[in-house]
Chain A
Amino acid sequence: MTPVQKDEGMVRQKAMLQAHAERAARARDEGRKVVYTFVPGNLVELLLSFDVEPVYPEITALQSGMRRASDRYIREAERAGHAEDVCSYVKCDVGMALAGDVGPGKTVPAPDLLLLSGTGCATFYKWFESLAGIWRAPVALLQVPYQADGAVTDEMRRYVVAQIRDDVIPALERLTGRRFDIDRLREHLRLSARAEDAYSAVVESARRRPSPIDAYFGMVFYVGPIFTALRGTLEAVEYYERLRAEVETRARAGLGPVTPDGPMGEQRFRLVVEGPPCWTAFRDLWKLFSDAGAVVVASTYSKVGGLYDTGFRHDPDRPLESLADYCLGCYTNLSLPQRLALVERYVRDYEADGFVVHSVKSCKAFGVGQPLLLREVERRAGVPGCFLESDLVDSRYFSHANVRNRLESFLQAIDMRRKA
């Protein structure tokens, strides 16, 4: 295999996340506290205002998957009693904690607090219940009501704000021994909004032909800073402003994204993808798409850490309310009809030729509606759909031949329709 190729934005992203991992690893020695939290509905601006280090277990798990270390951790968790069909992120993370092993290159520090932002995924509760048992760390709970009726109501917003004010902030004050400083929070929110503006321009760039980005595989790298520990920092603003310029330059030159196997050639198919990628086969999966000339122009996975392309911004003038709106509005917290409407809009707005669902074996929360989503998008948007199945970080569930067979069949079916 040739060495992995990356664009400048991917290289800088890796350096930023690496630097953060190192900072987090030093936190205890430097007297800073570590808070574990989840990507969807994370309150990173609030955490930064208390000078604590956020660590995201899903990110640790997916990085373990990309490093091919996840299978060992999963076996470790299964030995400890977790069933085969439990979410593989959970097992990877729990197994890593049980093995006392290192994370992606650096020691992942133990948590001082588990901030459970229960946004969209019910498994989050059981996940932190397991980690609380292993680490003997307290849990601060932020319960985010699911948008079952397809909208955020004032009541829902007030409920989340009250929890941030009455539960989460006091828990952070107890943890750090500091008073909550709303001005610091406002400053981080202001920086978040700036990064979000630039980031949204990157997302929207995929409307161009050829698309200068891959909005699924490539976007996985770009979302790193804004989905995790760096949103709300000046560093992230600079990162996304440079990324916007880099992508713009590529678009003006008529260039496509850079894949791990080199710059992508002709873009024969524009696709919308639902579901997270398979991390243990990430490069293989991307190659299957890019070799066939398939570029992803929009994906739902790149919205699990915030739906910025529908206009949401963190707002320094409504600090707690905008944090609540952020949590309530993440893709994972949308009802199935909302997800369907969003995907349908992506297919139309980004002029996609087809829709692909990558269904995750160990994720019940999202798997449930996916066959329906696929059929309805086919019916409403008039583009064919493709159903791929594997997993997040359990490599046992990825079958190269099977995925390739389905993807090829799908792309050839699109070709046939064009010819007809």
Chain B
Amino acid sequence: MRAFLGVDLGSTTTKAVLLDEKGGILGRGLTNTRANFETACAVARAEALADARFGLLAEPARSGARRAYHRAERGRRLEHLRARTLLLADDDARLQVAASRLFEALAKLASAEDGAVSFRDAVAEAAATAAEAVATAAGVPYERLMSALERALVADEADPTALDPDAVLDEIGVPAGERVPVDVAAQSGTGYGRHRLPFAPGEIRSEILCHGLGASHAFPGTRTVLDIGGQDTKAIQLDERGLVTSFQMNDRCAAGCGRYLGYVAEELGVGLPDLAPLALSAHCPSRINSTCTVFAGAEIRERLALGERREDVVAGLHRAIVLRALGLLARAGGVHSPLTFSGGVARNEAVVRSLRDELSRHYRDVAVNVSTDSIFNGAVGAALFALRETAAC
């Protein structure tokens, strides 16, 4: 089957998407970007290809194959990571014991099906919960155990495990006749690191265009796009044809972006996915104006010391992100309905709710669209460019 690949090499995560000839999503891939852009691109691409292969199977083989694939892929990566961590700990018997026990606790990750959380995030989150008890029991400092794991994760990301969908299809017994091969007919790349992608210059597109196109594809008629990613925020205005008329981006400072939430979660000792539920449980969100990532820790400690409730502080931090984004939207010419909210931060339900609240306060009747594929918005836009270019030939 002919497919069109879009890769969004972001500052925090790299996303890959494969579209069919009608622009429908066949497969998605997501990985941490880290320092090696080519690797990140290769991993995201391979994941998207594997995902597409399973997506093209007929039910019920499709869901069975997907589950089997995720299990196999996660299991294989966990095994590699375990071996690396033990290798890094081989001069300390107690650390080796702790690492082995930690990986026993992490084994449940192999059965996780959520492809929208990257392997690294899933491991880091599970390890944060389990490591303290494991380290104490083995009599090693918690920091040493986490440091070994962290170094292993970095090495693991630089050396991606080959993803082989056919091996998994063999394993679960899908006959060859039911498998649809995926042929990447054209590709296009975007994102912060787009110039480092192993793509031809003509296949590189700006983030603004890709996010604009992705948003108007997901929600035709979109006039304003707000995209909050790991390190930048974009406010894009589109005309009635979906063409970019103007845009504003945050300048240098990444305050109020995805990394800020990551830092807040770290500071509070909770997982990133736990932040939104915590914020949504607040009764009286704190009034916080600063969204400086560097000062976030001090801000949180100060608030807690003043006796404010944890959930209220967290809700206040979420609202502060939205207020900062509203400032950018104002500079970009305001909000025109319908608005599409995209980027990794759009997956945070508390930010979405706060955005709706604030928009209803500052603007009249703004419809807000958020796609479940919001994090893939830029990659979808890139893939659409590849699709259009091919169609134009």
Contact = CB atoms under 8 A, between A and B. Distances in A.
A254 interface: no
Interface string A384-420: 1101010000000101011001101110110011001
Given A399-B252, A402-B251, A371 B331 contact: yes
Contact of A409 (B208, B241, B252): B208
A418 to B, nearest CB: 10
Nearest to A359: B251
Nearest to A355: B246
Interface in A58-89: none
Interface residues of A, number: 22
B252 A413 contact: no
Nearest to B234: A409
Contacts of B206: 405, 408-409, 412-413
B12 interface: no
Interface in B176-223: 192, 205-209
B249 interface: yes
Given A402-B251, A402-B252, A420-B241, A384 B205 contact: no
A413 B249 contact: no
Contacts of B246: 374-375, 378, 384-385
B226 to A, nearest CB: 16
Contacts of A387: 248, 331
B150 to A, nearest CB: 27
A401 B192 CA distance: 8
B244 A375 contact: no
A413 B333 contact: no
A417 B243 CA distance: 7
Interface string B251-270: 11000000000000000000
B190 to A, nearest CB: 10
B243 A409 contact: no
Contacts of A401: 192
A406 B249 contact: yes
Contacts of A409: 206-209, 244, 247
Contact of B244 (A399, A405, A408, A413): A413
A143 B284 CA distance: 54
A399 B11 CA distance: 15
A416 B251 contact: no
Nearest to A417: B243
A301 to B, nearest CB: 20
Contact of B207 (A371, A374, A375, A405): A405
A333 to B, nearest CB: 26
A252 B254 CA distance: 49
A397 to B, nearest CB: 8
Contacts of A371: 248, 331
B252 to A, nearest CB: 5
Given A387-B331, A410-B247, 4 more contacts: A387-B248, A402-B249, A412-B206, A412-B208
6 contacts: A371-B331, A399-B252, A412-B209, A413-B244, A416-B209, A416-B243
Interface of B: 192, 205-209, 241, 243-249, 251-252, 331, 333
- Interface pairs A-B: 8 shortest CB-CB: A409-B208, A409-B206, A413-B244, A412-B206, A371-B331, A389-B251, A408-B206, A375-B333
